[in-house]
Amino acid sequence: MCGIVGYWDLRHSIDADALAKIADNMAGALVHRGPDDHGVWVDREAGIAFGHRRLSVIDISNRGHQPMLSSNDRYVLVYNGEIYNYRSLRRELEQCGHRFQGHSDTEVMITAFQEWGVETAIKHCLGMFAFAVWDRKQRQLWLGRDRLGEKPLYYGWSGTVFLFASELKALRKHPAWKKDIDRTALTLFMRHGYVPWPYSIYENIYKLPPASLLKMESHITSATTDFDPFPGDAAATLRRPHIYWDLDRIVGADKSSAVMDNDEAVRELERLIRESVARQLIADVPVGAFLSGGVDSSTIVALMQQESSGQVKTFSIGSSDEDYNEANFAKDIAVHLGTDHTELYVTPADAQALIPELPRIYDEPFADSSQIPTLLVSRLARETVTVALSGDGGDELFGGYDRYQWSERLWSVFRPVPRVFRTALGSLLKAVPLTAWQMAARPIFRGSHSAGARVHRWAELLSVCSREELYWHIVSHWRRPQELVVNGVEPRYVFNDQSLRKEIDNFVAYMMYIDTRTYLPDDILTKVDRASMSASLEVRVPMLDQYVVAHAWRIQQNMNREATQTKWPLRAILHKYVPRELVERPKKGFAIPIGEWLRNSLRDWGEELLDPASILSDGFLNPIPIREKWAQHLSGAGDWQYPLWNVLMFQSWLKNWQ
C-alpha cells in the first residue's frame, strides 16, 4: 500500500533536477501512506515526473522499490495497492519467458504490462489498485483504478501541467496548483455528505472512476466511453476514461440458464469469499482484521480463522455509552472463534478530540461521522499489524441497509395514490409547525428530538414522481442544496439522469446498484482508505473480489430472496461457524451521537464555524437556511445533525485548506 504522485509538464521548460524536486515534494505530502521507502523518476525530454511513497507489505526488500522500470525499459510504474493473484500471474509470465528479480506484485504488474499491454493486462489483475504507467516507446501516460474504487486517484489540469496523485494534499504541493473550489461539487457534497466521482472539490481536478483506464497522449486523451458526465463540455475528452470492467453488464446479465437453489448459492458464495480471504492473507508483514460483531466482519473473521494456522488478530472499538456499544458482542464472537482479540473503549471526549484532525486526513469535505471510529480502530490495529481485513461491501452486495427495506415499503404505499393527492397531503403536513409535530409524534418515535423533523421530511417525500426520485431524496442530507450553495448547480450525474442508470425492475436491487456505484466508493471506501492510511495501515476488503460481486448479483436476481431477513446468504455461512444467538440480535453499531454533541459539548465549536458573518465573508454558502436549522436543532424542535454536519465539515475544511 502506497502513495503515488506525478505530473506531465507540457512546457518542457524544467530541468531534471527541478522535475525531481517537485515530485519529491509532492510525494512527501503522502509519507503517512508510505513511511518505509520513497523514490522519484523523471523523463526530462518528455517533461514527466513520478514520485512514490511505499508501505512495504509484499517483498519488503528494495527489489520492490518504486518507481519501477520494466525489464525492457519500456514502462515506468508507480502503483498503490495489492494484486492478490500475483503469484499465479507470475507463473503464467514465467511460462512466457520472463524472469523476475524479486517477488513483489509490483514487478508482476509491470511485467504483465510488458507482455500483454496495459488494457489487456489490467483485466488479469485481481486486487485493489491505483496506478500510473508511462510508456516510453509510445509516449503515452496511463492511469488506472480498481474495479470497485477501493484505492483513490485524483487527476486534472493546472494550466499546462497535468497532475495526478493518491490524495489532493500532494497536488497542492505542485507550484502550478490552483485552489479554486468547484461550486458544482460543493452542491453535490451538501446533498450527499461526500463528493461523488468524477468530481473533486476543486475545479479541473477529478476522481478517476472505478474500473477505468485513462490514456493521455500529448495534451488530450484518446480514450472514449459512452458515459460522459459533462455533456457539451469542450474539455470533456479529458474526463472520458475507458471502462474495462462493467458493473452494468454484471447487474444486467441473463442468469436464467443457470439458476441455483439457495443451498447451492450459499455453498458457492462461501467458496468464493473463502478464496478471496485466502488470497488477501498473503503478506510479508502481520495481518489482522476489524471485528465489529456484525454479520459482515464476523463472516470475514470466521473464514480467516479457517484459513489461518494460528490465531487471527482482531480489533474492535467500544463506547463508554452502552446505548452505542457493541464491543461486548464482538468480544463474544472473538472468544468463540478463538482469535487474539484487542478492544479499546473510548469516551465521547476521546472521539471528539479527533474532530480537528478530520480536514487534514480527509483532504476534501467529507461528512460521514463514522470516520471517527474508523480512525480509532485503524490506529488501534496499527499498533500490532500492518494489514487488516474488513467486512465492508456486505451491505451493498446483500441488501443490508435498513433504508432498503423501508424505502421499498414507502414506495409500495405511495405508488397507487395519485401524485396530486400525495402532494396536497404533504403540503398539509408541512403546514403544521415543527413544534406541534414534535409534541404529537414523540410517542411514535419514542421521545426522539427528531420526531417533528421526521414528519416534515416524510411529508416532502409524498410528492416524488418515481422510485428513483424517492431514493434520491432519502439519501440526501440537504434536499435543495442549490438554495444553500451560492451559485450552486447540480450537474447531470447518476442520481438525476435516467440515461446514466441501469434499468432494474426490483427496487431493492436498484438501490443496491446505485449505492455500489456511488456511496460505496465515494463514502465507505473513501472513509476506510483515508482513516487507515493516515495510520499507515493497509485495509483489504474480501467482499469486493470481482467473483464475489458477480455471484452476489446472481443471487440477487435469481434466488428466492428471504424478505424477512437481510443478508441471508452471509448469515447462512456465518451460522456454520458462530452460534445464531451471538449474531441474531438488534444491531447497535458504534454510532456517533453527533446530534447530541452539537447541542452540548460541541455547541461552541459549531457556533464559531456557523457564524453568519464568517459564512457570508467566505462567499460559498447562504447562512439563512443554516442558521434556521441550527436554531431548531439546538432547541430540540428538529434533528438536523446530518445537514449541519455537512456544513460544519465544509467550514472546518475551508479553514484548514483555503
Residue 236: the pLDDT is 45
Angle at 545 between CA 541 and CA 546, to 5 degrees: 150
Peptide bond connecting 198 to the previous residue in cis, omega within 30 degrees of 0: yes
Please state, in angstroms and rounded to a whole number, the distance separating the CA atoms of residues 209 and 240. 9
Residue found by looking up cell 454536519 in the block: 645
Residue 527: the pLDDT is 97
From residue 127, how far is each of 98, 326, 334, 620, 646 by CA, in Å?
A: 22, 31, 27, 39, 32
Least confident window among 67-81, 217-231, 618-632: 217-231
Residue 88 or residue 259, greater confidence: 88
- Give residue-wise pLDDT tens across range 534-591: 999 999 999 999 999 999 998 887 655 544 578 889 999 999 999 988 888 766 555 6
Please state, in angstroms and rounded to a whole number, the distance separating the CA atoms of residues 604 and 624. 19
Asked if 610 and 645 count as a contact pair (C-beta separation under 8 A), the reply is no
Residue 394: the pLDDT is 94
From residue 389, how far is each of 275, 540, 589 by CA, in Å?
A: 14, 5, 18
Asked if 577 and 337 count as a contact pair (C-beta separation under 8 A), the reply is yes
Residue 658 or residue 82, greater confidence: 82
For the chain, what are the domain ranges?
2-209+212-245, 250-348+363-399+515-583, 402-511, 594-657
Residue 607 or residue 461, greater confidence: 607
**pLDDT exceeds cutoff 50 at 76:** yes
Please state, in angstroms and rounded to a whole number, the distance separating the CA atoms of residues 145 and 211. 6
Question: Which cell goes with 387?
Answer: 494489514
Residue 50 burial class via C-beta count within 10 angstroms: exposed 0-12, middle 13-18, buried 19 and up = buried
Bridge partners of residue 622, in order along the sequence: none
- Give residue-wise pLDDT tens across range 298-337: 999 999 999 988 899 999 988 776 666 677 888 999 999 9
Residue 192: the pLDDT is 96
Q: Work out the mean pLDDT of the chain and round it to a whole number.
A: 87
**pLDDT exceeds cutoff 60 at 651:** yes
Residue 159: the pLDDT is 85
Angle at 469 between CA 465 and CA 472, to 5 degrees: 165
DSSP 29-44: TTGGG-BSEEEEEEET
DSSP 569-624: HHHHHHTTTS-HHHHSS--------HHHHHHTTTHHHHHHHT-HHHHHHHTSB-HH
- Give residue-wise pLDDT tens across range 225-271: 333 444 444 344 444 788 999 998 888 776 555 567 888 889 999 99
Least confident window among 30-44, 156-170, 455-469: 455-469
Residue 226: the pLDDT is 37
From residue 585, how far is each of 84, 339, 606, 610 by CA, in Å?
A: 34, 21, 36, 40
Please state, in angstroms and rounded to a whole number, the distance separating the CA atoms of residues 619 and 457. 28
- Give residue-wise pLDDT tens across range 360-384: 999 999 999 999 999 999 999 999 9
Least confident window among 37-46, 180-189, 462-471, 611-620: 462-471
CATH superfamily of 2-209+212-245: Aminohydrolase, N-terminal nucleophile (Ntn) domain (3.60.20.10)
From residue 249, how far is each of 253, 474, 502, 546, 552 by CA, in Å?
A: 6, 27, 9, 13, 14
Residue 428: the pLDDT is 75
User: What's the CATH code, domain 250-348+363-399+515-583?
Assistant: 3.40.50.620
Closest CA to 346 of 379, 313, 368: 379
Least confident window among 246-250, 403-407, 440-444: 440-444
Residue 366 or residue 506, greater confidence: 366
Q: Which residues contact 540 (CB under 8 A, 6 or more apart)?
A: 82, 128, 280, 387, 388, 389, 390
Long-range contacts for 480-484 (Cβ within 8 Å, ≥24 apart)? 481/187, 481/188, 481/190, 481/191, 482/187, 483/622, 483/625, 484/187, 484/190, 484/621, 484/622, 484/625, 484/626, 484/647
Bridge partners of residue 343, in order along the sequence: 316
Strand 68-69 and strand 242-243: the pairing is unpaired
Please state, in angstroms and rounded to a whole number, the distance separating the CA atoms of residues 598 and 348. 12
Closest CA to 311 of 336, 293, 328, 332: 336
- Give residue-wise pLDDT tens across range 474-491: 999 998 999 999 999 988
Asked if 151 and 3 count as a contact pair (C-beta separation under 8 A), the reply is no
**Other CB atoms within 10 A of residue 374 CB:** 25
AA identity, residue 427: S
Please state, in angstroms and rounded to a whole number, the distance separating the CA atoms of residues 578 and 101. 44
**pLDDT exceeds cutoff 50 at 93:** yes
Average pLDDT over residues 505-524: 92
Average pLDDT over residues 200-215: 95
- Give residue-wise pLDDT tens across range 115-147: 999 999 999 999 999 999 999 999 999 999 999
Residue 324: the pLDDT is 65
What is the distance in angstroms between the CA of the first residue and the CA of the last residue of the chain?
A: 29
Residue 221: the pLDDT is 42
